[in-house]
Structure 1
Amino acid sequence: MSKPKLSDEEITQRGKELYDSSIRPRVETPENIGKIISINVETGEYEIGDDLLVTSLKMRTKQADAALWSGRIGFNAVYAVGGTLFRAIG
């Protein structure tokens, strides 16, 4: 597997921009709140599921070297270690 062409900072920036500008309105529905989304920041394709590893692996089957950004739909982070997840308000 080759290394993504983008830096971690570029992946984060593109992922957040894609999510906020075009994906959020389609996926932030009551049935998806709290689920994980993994986004290929180069193509805009995404997978939604209950598990970060599963959504990432599904994206990697489509493109092995995909630059992926992941988030928890409706929240400020995927996981909270020693803290609390906060519900993101649109």
Structure 2
Amino acid sequence: MAHPRYSSAEIAERGQALYEREIQGLLTAGDRGKVVVLDVETGAYELDTDDLAAVRRARAKHPEGAFYILRVGQSAAYRLGLGT
């Protein structure tokens, strides 16, 4: 979904930088595989095993937020494909 203030590339760039600088060091091995929903404007984030729950909480707190979503310890939040 488009955001009125940022392009998708800007959200990804800002989100990844903020995650690496502010959040990654706070997470533990027990957080691996959880989803982080990060507001790239405020730095506020939600962490949960349930991605939809994390998104709903983030949007409830910051309805106009620009959100970057990632899965802790993985290069992508989601994987698409038919492989086993």
- TM-score range (shorter-chain normalised) is 0.7 to 0.9
Post-superposition offset of 1:83? 7.5
2:47 counterpart residue number: 48
Post-superposition offset of 1:41? 0.2
2:12 counterpart residue number: 12
1:61 counterpart residue number: 60
TM-score (norm 2): 0.88
* Number of equivalences: 81
The percent identity for this pair of structures is 35
Post-superposition offset of 1:72? 0.3
SS in structure 1 of the partner of residue 38 of structure 2: strand
Post-superposition offset of 1:37? 0.4
**Structure 1 runs not aligned, ≥5 long:** 85-90
Deviations 1:21-68, CA, capped at 9 Å, x for gaps: 1210002x1110000000000000000001222111101111111000
1:74 counterpart residue number: 73
TM-score (norm 1): 0.82
Post-superposition offset of 1:7? 1.1
Write out the 4+ residue segments of structure 1 that deviate beyond 2 Å after TM superposition. none
**Structure 2 runs not aligned, ≥5 long:** none
